[in-house]
Amino acid sequence: MLSQLGFFVNIAFSFIAWWIVTARYIWPQLRLRQRAEALQPLLILHSFRFIGLAFLVPGVVSPDLPSSFAHSAAYGDIIAAILALLWLLLLPRRAGVLIAWIFNLWGSADLLRAFYEGNAGGLLAGQLGAAYFTPTFVVPLLLITHGLIFRILLQ
C-alpha cells in the first residue's frame, strides 16, 4: 500500500514540477512564435513516445504486468509517435493542421486511457519495473504539452 501511495505522490509531484517548468520556461518561449514554429519542439518531444514499447520488453517490466495494459500502452504510444513524426513532415502544409488535431486527440486520449486502465485494473507500481519512470516522469510532461498543443491549435 505504501508503494502505491509513493507511486501516486511521484506522479503528483511530477505534474507540479513540469507545470512550473512549462509556465516559467516553455510557454513564454512558445507563445511568441507562429503556430507551426511553436508546435515543432512539442512534436519533436512526442516523437520519442516509442519508449512506451518498453512495456513489452521482458526484464524491463515485471512478468506480472497485465499484458492487456502493456500492449495497449505500447501500441498507443507508437501510434502517437508515428503521428507526431507525420505531423512534423506535414506541419507547414494545410494537412498538418488536420494531423495535428488527430495526433493531439489520439495522444491525449491514449495517455488518459492508460492512467484509467492502470488504476481500474489494480496496476501495482512494482509491475512496471524499470518502466516505472514512464508514468511518473514522462507522462505528466506529455499531458501538459498536449494541453499546450491544444492551446496553440485553438489560437
Instruction: State pLDDT tens for residues 70-121.
Output: 999 999 999 999 999 999 998 878 788 888 899 999 999 999 999 999 988 8
Average pLDDT over residues 2-21: 92
What mean pLDDT value characterizes the chain? 94
Q: What is the 3-state secondary structure (H, E, C) of 113-154?
A: HHHHHHHHCCCCHHHHHHHHHHHHHHHHHHHHHHHHHHHHHH
| Amino acid sitting at position 95 | A
CA–CA distance, 138 with 84 (Å, rounded to integer) = 16
- Helices 2-21 and 139-154: crossing angle in degrees, nearest 10, is 40
Query: In this structure, are residues 52 and 65 in contact, taking their beta carbons and an 8 Å threshold?
Result: no
User: What DSSP designation does 92 have?
Assistant: T
Model pLDDT, residue 143: 98
